[in-house]
């Protein structure tokens, strides 16, 4: 989860750095994005815990664990594939 947070932050900041924006403004966006992404990560952890806990009561724990792993794998694939594609698009334009 921490790696995903860091990689997501890098993907958010890269377009601003490549656009030639003032470094102080990029620094403000960078610092603010850490707070926002940290809050989003906290909410996602709470929602995941609730999702798994309610599945445990209903006897569907392992199917919910599998769903969670699939969603996380999709998000990781998007981050791994999306970062190089975003960089290519920004460097071409």
CA distance 13 to 33: 8
Residue 44 is predicted with a pLDDT of 87
Q: What is the pTM of this model?
A: 0.64
Average pLDDT (79-91) is: 73
DSSP code per residue over 6-49 = HHHHHHHHHHHHHTT--HHHHHHHHHHHHHHHHHHHHHHHHHHH
Q: What is the pLDDT of residue 66?
A: 93
Question: What is the tens place of the pLDDT at every residue in 22-71?
Answer: 888 888 888 888 888 888 889 988 998 999 899 888 888 899 999 989 98
Residue 93 has pLDDT above 60, yes or no: no
> Is the pLDDT at 3 greater than 70, yes or no?
no
């Amino acid at each position: 989860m921490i790696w995903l947070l860091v990689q997501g932050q890098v993907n958010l900041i890269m377009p601003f750095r490549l656009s030639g924006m003032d470094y102080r403004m990029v620094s403000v966006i960078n610092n603010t994005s850490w707070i926002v992404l940290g809050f989003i990560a906290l909410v996602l952890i709470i929602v995941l815990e609730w999702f798994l806990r309610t599945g445990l009561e209903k006897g569907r724990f392992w199917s919910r664990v599998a769903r969670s792993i699939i969603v996380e794998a999709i998000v990781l694939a998007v981050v791994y594939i999306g970062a190089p594609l975003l960089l290519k698009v920004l460097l071409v334009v």
